[in-house]
Structure 1
């Protein structure tokens, strides 16, 4: 891979992430508002872990198999939608935190990790995305594995930085609006979760409508 190809790849990633928040970004915003950015790094780790597995699947040539498994994709996608909607509704109906702190109870790190992992895994088309993206920047005359490792690591770094940035922005916004706490914080976080579920589901519906 030449330096020009790598810089072009970086440009593509920057353009890809320079968009309104997607499902995973809405999740990190919600968790950062409720639990703080530091604890929500577990959500980022879960998201990136799922991405790593998806990249591995793409590297082993499973893209075509996944793309043709329509029923499996449908089940995975809508389980993810239901999972995010359930979290959001739970937050909407939950009671406010104790009035002396106004803070949400701290979730366990493994719970935050699981949320990030399952949310990212609920988009099985990511494997197809990686399978279509990486070959555009691979030089077949050079060893492929090191190139895949470089492309994958770069994606994870850019993705992780983007998630942390969204989480930081959400936490900072909350810090400036001190009145948002207790039940209202839960409601805002719940609405972000439901928005993530709606975004995930709407993509699937759009793809079905286009067939």
Structure 2
């Protein structure tokens, strides 16, 4: 892959992320507020793990299958919406005397990883997106797998950095929220999760991260 082609790809990915926060980013912000940036890293790892699977699926041609299967697309999307809204309602409806204990219980590494993984996998259009993006920057005269690896790794690194920056933003928000009760923090985080669910529900025709 020529260096100029790679730099164009890098610029394209950077521009793609120059948007308001999407569902995964809202989840990272919420978990950073509740659990701190270090623990929200498990959510980021979950999100990026799902991206790796989506890239692999795209590389093996499953993008075309998902693109032509409206039923599969709709089921995956709405299961993801329901999961996000369920998380948000749990936070909003939690009681004052139990919020801190619930936050500690929900801050386990596997739980946070699962949230990031499920929310990212709930975007089936990502497979189609990767399937459409990568071929634009692949040189058919050169070995394809190494090029796919470079493109995929670059995307993962950029995505990871962006998620960390959004998590840091969540930490800054948490500092401002410390003057309020923990229950208020839960209400804010729950609202973010429901907002992420609404965002996922209304972006069924737009490629996302």
In the TM superposition, residue 31 of structure 1 has moved relative to its aligned partner by 0.4
Residue in structure 1 matched with residue 104 of structure 2 by the alignment:
105
User: 3-state SS of the aligned residue for 1:105?
Assistant: helix
Contact 1:174 1:180 in 2 (8 A): no
Q: Distance in 1 between matches of 2:19 and 2:102?
A: 30
The runs of 5 or more residues in structure 2 that have no matched partner are none
Question: Following the alignment from structure 2 to structure 1, what is the Cα–Cα distance between the partners of residues 177 and 132?
Answer: 42
Deviation at 1:105, TM superposition (A): 2.1
**1:22–1:196 contact (8 Å) kept in structure 2:** yes
Q: Which residue of 2 aligns with 1:54?
A: 54
Contact preservation (8 Å) 1:34, 1:103: no
Aligned partner of residue 104 in structure 2, secondary structure:
coil
Q: Is the 8 A contact 1:30 1:192 kept in 2?
A: yes
Query: Cα offset for 1:103?
Result: 9.6
In the alignment, is the contact (CA less than 8 A) between 1:82 and 1:197 conserved in 2? Answer: yes
- Cα 1:143–1:191 change in 2 (3 A) is same
Match of 1:200 in 2: 200
Moved over 3 A (4+): 101-104
**Residues 1:179 and 1:149: Cα distance change in structure 2 (over 3 Å):** same
* Cα separation, 2, equivalents of 1:3 and 1:32: 36
97 and 129 in structure 1: CA distance in 2 versus 1, 3 angstrom threshold: farther
Aligned twin of 1:160 = 160
Give the Å deviation of 1:140.
0.6
Task: Return closer, same or farther for 1:168/1:181 CA change in 2, 3 Å cut-off.
Answer: farther
Distance 1:103 1:185 in 2: 13
How far did residue 174 of structure 1 move? Answer: 1.5
Note the residue ranges of structure 1 that are not aligned, 5 or more in a row.
Answer: none
CA shift, 1:180, in A, is 3.2
Alignment match, 1:124: 124
Structure 2 distance, partners of 1:102, 1:144, is: 50
CA contact (8 A) 2:59 2:131 kept: yes
Query: Which residue of the partner structure matches residue 76 of structure 2?
Result: 76
2: distance between equivalents of 1:98 and 1:62? 44
1:174 matched residue in structure 2: 174
1:51-88 CA distance string (max 9 Å, x none): 00000000011111111111011001000000000000
Inter-partner Cα distance in structure 1 for 2:173 and 2:64: 43
User: 1: CA distance between counterparts of 2:6 and 2:88?
Assistant: 39
Specify the alignment match of 2:23 in structure 1. 23
Distance apart, 1:177 and its partner CA: 3.9
Shift of 1:178: 2.3
